[in-house]
C-alpha cells in the first residue's frame, strides 16, 4: 500500500490528471468536529467513519485516486488495504493522519 505524507498529496493527485481525487476521512464524527481539513478545490473531502465504509462503497469510484485519512494513520491504513482488496485502483494512506496534516499543511488546525 502506498504511504504518503500530507505534503506529498498534491503531487500524487497530479499524477492522476483527469480524475477527481478524494480525501477519505475515516475518523468518527466527534473527531471531524475537532479538526478537519479545510475545503480545497484540489480534492473532494468525504467523511465516512471506518465502520461505515463497507456499507458505503458504492459512493466511491474504483478508478478515482483515494487518499485515506484518520488521526495518526492506523485506521486509514486498514481502510486503504480494504479498498485495495475490494479492487480500488489508486489508493494511498496519509501517514501520520490529521496530526501530520496539521504540522505539514495547516498549522492553525487543532491537534488532539
Over the stretch 64-98, which tens digit does the pLDDT of each residue have? 999 999 999 999 999 999 999 999 999 999 999 99
pTM, rounded to two decimals: 0.96
Domains of the chain, by residue range, sit at 2-104
CATH code for the structural domain at 2-104: 3.40.250.10
What is the secondary structure of 27-85 as a DSSP string?
A: S-HHHHHH--PPP-TTSEEEE--GGGTGGGGGGS-TTSEEEEE-SSSHHHHHHHHHHHH
Mean pLDDT computed over every residue of the chain: 96
* pLDDT for res 4: 97
% of the chain beyond a pLDDT of 70? 100
Active site residues: 70
pLDDT in tens, 58-71: 999 999 999 999 99
Strands 90-94 and 2-4: parallel
* pLDDT for res 17: 86
Amino acid at each position: 500500500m502506498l504511504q504518503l505524507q500530507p505534503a506529498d498529496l498534491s503531487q500524487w493527485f497530479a499524477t492522476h490528471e483527469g480524475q477527481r481525487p478524494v480525501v477519505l476521512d475515516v475518523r468518527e464524527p466527534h473527531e471531524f468536529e475537532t479538526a478537519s481539513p479545510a475545503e480545497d478545490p484540489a480534492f473532494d473531502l468525504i467523511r465516512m467513519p471506518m465502520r461505515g465504509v463497507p456499507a458505503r462503497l458504492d459512493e466511491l469510484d474504483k478508478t478515482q485516486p483515494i487518499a485515506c485519512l484518520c488521526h495518526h494513520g492506523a485506521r486509514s491504513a486498514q481502510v486503504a488495504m480494504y479498498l485495495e482488496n475490494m479492487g480500488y485502483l489508486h489508493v494511498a494512506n496519509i501517514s501520520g493522519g490529521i496530526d501530520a496534516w496539521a504540522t505539514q499543511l495547516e498549522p492553525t488546525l487543532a491537534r488532539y
